Structure 1
């Protein structure tokens, strides 16, 4: 006989919080108990909430042992150390996330799983939680530009529906759950990949003789600003040639420790060869953060000249 798990979240207008919580639970049980049937109900009725196996974003109770994950009650401990308050998504992820990561990655090391967990928290979960609690996790840098986030998109999807039409609201809710399931899965895969790349990147750092220039066998999605010396990374291009990319000062900042000379910027091929005096020079980004040469030898000559300038 097929096992059935009854899950309840609130009815009425939906938000990214309850949508992503549903998506995460779908992913978890697909990996944990693929034959189990999940029966969802959107309701605020006390009897429905009491009868459910798992309740989230409704019910005014946070008790993981009883599978209750609401955040609307006045309760201590519903905020992270950085001040971002927990919403249902964060509470559900806090309880199910590490195990889900382990199932997807096959990883057994608790420290590695914890690092992957933190990446998913930073990249996705805290943004959804913050917005649901009225906390902005971004800054608006330009006037006349409306902020477009996942949360805002889901609000748009809600606002195009007559909120008195519960059938259409439910239909759109589960449509967005499918989209969110893909997002959650991809962010977890990204975090797993990033953790693997970190191990290889650290090896490349240790092997590089001149710690200002990190020689890699491929591009690594890793910011070498974790170390004090690196100014740039060198790696083969996916098509042809070799690239040198500067190391950024922060994780999300477009501000680097080093830039290639202004006289090279925006130039390509013959013009760049003439400007730098190195054969095979192909490209220098107009912002000065990337150069390309046809050969590794040529690229290293360009780097040597740039460092002397």
Structure 2
């Protein structure tokens, strides 16, 4: 499958769009290997099977996925406009995700929309501390472009583009694996919520991603316990997804203590560690971690 995109500097939306198509050809081998042509030559563009981020046209039927035309290429219900990554993902994302629409939706939420917003000039986050800016995948991809004092020849730019594409493909593949794991874990988390004797304490039968399912659907939950490789973990439930403020911190006297010191403070012989941020503690056994959880629930700051 031959795909054309623009030459010159590259950005996260075109690179990630091509990363998605790379994974598509792996999922659907009959399409053949992906051949990428970086050009603005009209004849070369016309000869390609698909055109990404170039051509000023958005029409999946003709293989065109661009958003630079007058009026753009539309926006999502939440107002985030589509860039080329979003257009490609909307058309092929579910197929890249093995036919799972829920996985494709999650990828759009955690990765695609932020890339699209950056490319279409929409601010979706702002610094909370001075001028310190959060590093994003869009910044990371942009950093692959040659600097003024590096090899900016056509061959040098192509090497830089190929490196950026490999990087983006790896990120997208891991996000896919994570989304698939989260979807499969969601039913297990819901079952744990349903069987909890105390709605404030949720016990999982193994470590798994739980925040996205539990935080919005278990408003009374304060702590989660789960087995780790050789011990047991206790975690505080955050108030809001993606934030660090907990519904109920672990007791302040535990903060930053470990081993014998934590065991003395708690009376739990196999207590091993409590993070200074008071969001996580560890014990050597299930009985030990449940006793830590009982004390945390009873503690009044």
Q: TM-score, normalised by structure 2?
A: 0.91
Q: Distance in 1 between matches of 2:201 and 2:33?
A: 54
By how many angstroms is 1:280 displaced?
2.4
1:156 aligns with 2:143: yes
Q: Residue deviations 1:140-177, cap 9 Å, x none?
A: 23336454322222322214256862221122112211
In the alignment, is the contact (CA less than 8 A) between 1:12 and 1:163 conserved in 2? no
1:221 aligns with 2:209: yes
Q: Residue deviations 1:79-122, cap 9 Å, x none?
A: 1122221110110011010011116xxxxxxxxx2221121112
What does residue 107 of structure 1 align with? none
* Unmatched tracts of structure 2, length 5 or more: none
Q: 1:119 to 1:168 in 2, by over 3 A?
A: same
Q: 1:127 to 1:237 in 2, by over 3 A?
A: same
Instruction: Pick one of 69, 90, 97 that aligns with 1:73.
Output: 69
What does residue 193 of structure 1 align with? 181
Q: Distance in 2 between matches of 1:80 and 1:158?
A: 29
Q: Residue deviations 1:267-292, cap 9 Å, x none?
A: 12222222223332222221211222
What does residue 83 of structure 1 align with? 79
Q: Distance in 1 between matches of 2:155 and 2:236?
A: 53
Instruction: Pick one of 213, 227, 232 that aligns with 1:236.
Output: 227
Q: 1:80 to 1:163 in 2, by over 3 A?
A: farther
Q: Distance in 1 between matches of 2:193 and 2:34?
A: 47
Q: Residues 42-57 of structure 1 correspond to what in structure 2 (within 5 A)? A: 42-57=38-53
Q: Distance in 2 between matches of 1:244 and 1:82?
A: 35
Q: Distance in 2 between matches of 1:217 and 1:258?
A: 22
Q: 1:176 to 1:10 in 2, by over 3 A?
A: same
In the alignment, is the contact (CA less than 8 A) between 1:13 and 1:163 conserved in 2? no
1:293 aligns with 2:289: no
1:9 aligns with 2:5: yes
In the alignment, is the contact (CA less than 8 A) between 2:223 and 2:293 conserved in 1? no
What does residue 112 of structure 2 align with? 125
- SS of the equivalent of 1:291 reads strand
In the alignment, is the contact (CA less than 8 A) between 2:86 and 2:113 conserved in 1? yes
Q: TM-score, normalised by structure 1?
A: 0.88
Q: 1:305 to 1:40 in 2, by over 3 A?
A: closer
In the alignment, is the contact (CA less than 8 A) between 2:146 and 2:157 conserved in 1? no
